Structure 1
Amino acid sequence: MNTLLENYQQLQAETPRLRAVDAAEKLGVSEAELLNAMVGVNVTSLDPTKIPEILKTFKKLGHVMALTRNNHVVNEIKGVYEKLYISERNDSLMGVAINPGGIDLRLFLHKWHSVFLVESEHHSSIQFFDIAGKAVHKVFTTAQSNMSELVNLKERFKVPAYKLTVTSEEKPTQLLRVLSEEELAAFRAAWAKLEDVHLFPKLLDTHNLGRVQALDLVGSPWSYEIPSNVLPEVLEAVKAQAQEIMVFVGNHGAVQIYSGQVNTLKQVGEWYNVLDPQFNLHAKAQQFDRAFVVRKPTDNGETVVTSIEFFDAQGDTLLTLFGRRTEGKKQTAEWQTICHNLTEEKLAMIS
């Protein structure tokens, strides 16, 4: 038995409910390295060159739970893994599952590096990791899953244990640009002329700006900084007014989107949670560093879409909330009021 596995089993005996991601951190390895050490126990290596094919088999599993997380937020949606499309864009493999109200995903498959099947007496899961050994996406069976299809998946894609190489991906430091008055005016004018929210990343690239710096620079009426600890307040207001929202949680390998209402809200330790039957959100809200109410023109400038965006201290997006809408229609007046009230509170704090 290898030393890492022995150390993990000892840690498990001392702390039976410790999650693998937390155990890996305590053991000083990545989560993928920990699972790789468990191959042959309750873990099976799957063929990483067949990730698109593996994803396409998930529909046959039926009812599952999809999980995508970053350091401080976890998004869990129960449903069927369907309407999945794989394509290549600019030599990068991408996946998309467009299922509003269900398992709705944007997958950056060129960032995915390894995959394992983990089996336990409670449930089984297929877990995907990046080159640094960090989880990008996981799919768990439920009581309604077709377990015979899981057996088929295992037999079709299993491979012998292989040497797993992890490489720390150093994220380049985003240097703050100093814009001239002309450059700033051009950026603000371009923002005001946005015709589609999906063009926003291109706007940032064109002006060579990080997201947080862009929100700082553009100012009113497009961006308002708000207190970073407002998530409970926002979700309580959403619940009270029975609003449908869109909840975006992602990492550099995947974005998972929930669309619908939230009902059961609860603080448990350091986590603030949505605990609904088909959707769970877990957020270490005290780790949020900055937050903004953001407004973007869309539908050829006819409609302004408002979001609430939360960031960590490195400027990475942790969580984004939108009022749910259908294409070509406005967000509800209730959602706009929730966002407006946050900006009014911020203005009051400043004055």
Structure 2
Amino acid sequence: MTPAEIRAARAAQPRARARDFAESHGIPEAALVAAFTGPEVVAIAADPRRLLPLARELGPALALTRNRSAVQEREGLYGPLSEEVGRLRLRGEGIEMLIDPRHWVHAFAVTEPTAKGAKRSVQVFDAAGEAVHKIHLVADSRSEAFDRLVAELRLAEQVDAVPFAAVAPGPAAGPADWRQMPADLFAARLAAEGQRAPDRLAELPEVRALRPEAMTELLERAATAAVPLEIRGGTTGCLQIFRGQVARILPAGYWINVMDPAYNLHLRTDHLAGVFLTDRAPEGALSVEAYDAAGSLILTVTGGAGWESVVATLSAA
């Protein structure tokens, strides 16, 4: 579709969610955003080393990271960046992320007029145009900091169509022992080798396969017992990490949702093709890993005091 065709189709479907609209029309989500480049959509530099320090100046904001099967939304403050092997780590107040800068390729500052006033966001996409991370301003965000971010990162060339390319698998690097690899790097390494992480996990006698219902069970049990959780989910370019207790667990069709004041998780239970209880050194004692039918990691959950009681009797496959 040309940018003009995208704009016309969007005018006919203004209420459709951006991701759903893009999928239904066979285009990357970034193509939809780019088609409206102009006063309200500004192409900006995507480099997280430049972008995220400016995001820190926004004050309170909402961090949103999703993959096809799970969405995490967390209100808090963006914090400083630190270098790790092959990645960046951001630690703020409530907002924590592990970032692979190679996948921060396209970015836009978006101002969307609504009946309640302007809705502002920063949206980052990978080379294929898939969303990597989004920053949404909230009521207490500093709008002048958003304006500074746009002014400092604005690209010289502002066009309504940008080139997209397939994302190549990352290098098959890392320790040989699966226990020493975080689940997301383990899945990425096997994918680069043409293998599926859940197939490998299913072969290991020390790994316990669980039924898909186990993800709902662990959220409900953790909420009832006030057990603190660590939930990791996102994409190769950005893994968003939540640490804390969850309280309000709500099912809605094939979704299971955490709907707390400063944290929301939306998980598609119909996408849970492989769920495993593992023991990985990077995540701690025990972790529950969820994979989709393609073998991609959806999310990983670990817990603090009381966690072993939560997972002890989860439904086995």
Q: Any conservation in 1 of the 2:278–2:289 contact (CA below 8 Å)?
A: yes
1:198 Cα offset (Å): 5.1
Distance 2:26 2:185 in 1: 35
Distance 2:221 2:129 in 1: 38
The 1:202/1:68 distance shift into structure 2, 3 A limit, reads: closer
Q: Any conservation in 1 of the 2:196–2:294 contact (CA below 8 Å)?
A: no
1:221-244 per-residue CA deviation (whole Å, 9 max, x = no partner) reads xx1001022222111100111100
What's the TM-score, normalizing by structure 2? 0.86
Q: Where does residue 62 of structure 1 map in the other structure?
A: 59
SS of aligned partner of 1:97:
strand
1:171 Cα offset (Å): 5.6
Distance 2:307 2:303 in 1: 6
Distance 1:298 1:51 in 2: 24
Q: Where does residue 123 of structure 2 map in the other structure?
A: 127
Distance 1:275 1:199 in 2: 25
SS of aligned partner of 2:312:
helix
Q: Where does residue 228 of structure 2 map in the other structure?
A: 244
The 1:311/1:147 distance shift into structure 2, 3 A limit, reads: same
Residue identity matched to 2:202: D
SS of aligned partner of 1:280:
strand
The 1:41/1:31 distance shift into structure 2, 3 A limit, reads: farther
The 1:288/1:298 distance shift into structure 2, 3 A limit, reads: closer
Number of residue equivalences: 302
Superposition map of 1:194-233 within 5 A: 210-220=196-206, 223-233=207-217
Q: Where does residue 53 of structure 1 map in the other structure?
A: 50
Q: Where does residue 37 of structure 2 map in the other structure?
A: 39
The 1:203/1:319 distance shift into structure 2, 3 A limit, reads: closer
1:85 Cα offset (Å): 2.7
Q: Any conservation in 1 of the 2:89–2:97 contact (CA below 8 Å)?
A: yes
Q: Percent identity?
A: 25
Residue identity matched to 1:235: L
The 1:118/1:204 distance shift into structure 2, 3 A limit, reads: closer
User: What 5-or-longer segments of structure 2 have no aligned partner?
Assistant: none
1:271-319 per-residue CA deviation (whole Å, 9 max, x = no partner) reads 21101111100011121101011123579xxxx6101111001111101
Of residues 271, 276, 290, the one that matches 2:255 is 271
Q: Where does residue 308 of structure 1 map in the other structure?
A: 288
Q: Where does residue 329 of structure 1 map in the other structure?
A: none
- Structure 2 residue 300 is the aligned partner of structure 1 residue 320: yes
Q: Any conservation in 2 of the 1:204–1:210 contact (CA below 8 Å)?
A: no
1:201 Cα offset (Å): 5.0
Of residues 95, 98, 105, the one that matches 1:113 is 105
The 1:211/1:231 distance shift into structure 2, 3 A limit, reads: same
Q: Where does residue 4 of structure 1 map in the other structure?
A: 6
Distance 2:20 2:126 in 1: 17
The 1:215/1:31 distance shift into structure 2, 3 A limit, reads: same
1:6-65 per-residue CA deviation (whole Å, 9 max, x = no partner) reads 1111111xxx2x2111111122211101111011152111134x4421111111100000
Larger radius of gyration: 1
- Structure 2 residue 315 is the aligned partner of structure 1 residue 335: no
1:199 Cα offset (Å): 10
Structure with the higher fraction of residues in helix conformation: 1
Distance 1:7 1:289 in 2: 34
Q: Where does residue 292 of structure 1 map in the other structure?
A: 276
CA RMSD of superposed structures (Å): 2.8
SS of aligned partner of 1:123:
strand
Q: Where does residue 23 of structure 1 map in the other structure?
A: 21
Residue identity matched to 1:245: L
1:200 Cα offset (Å): 9.7
What's the TM-score, normalizing by structure 1? 0.78
Q: Any conservation in 2 of the 1:291–1:310 contact (CA below 8 Å)?
A: yes
Q: Any conservation in 2 of the 1:249–1:256 contact (CA below 8 Å)?
A: yes
Distance 2:11 2:187 in 1: 49
The 1:41/1:297 distance shift into structure 2, 3 A limit, reads: closer
- Structure 2 residue 95 is the aligned partner of structure 1 residue 103: yes
Distance 1:202 1:70 in 2: 17
1:217 Cα offset (Å): 2.1
Residue identity matched to 1:139: I
Distance 1:47 1:297 in 2: 36
- Structure 2 residue 78 is the aligned partner of structure 1 residue 81: yes
Distance 1:216 1:11 in 2: 43
The 1:171/1:109 distance shift into structure 2, 3 A limit, reads: closer
SS of aligned partner of 1:305:
coil
Of residues 157, 161, 165, the one that matches 2:158 is 161
Q: Where does residue 327 of structure 1 map in the other structure?
A: none
Distance 1:231 1:198 in 2: 19
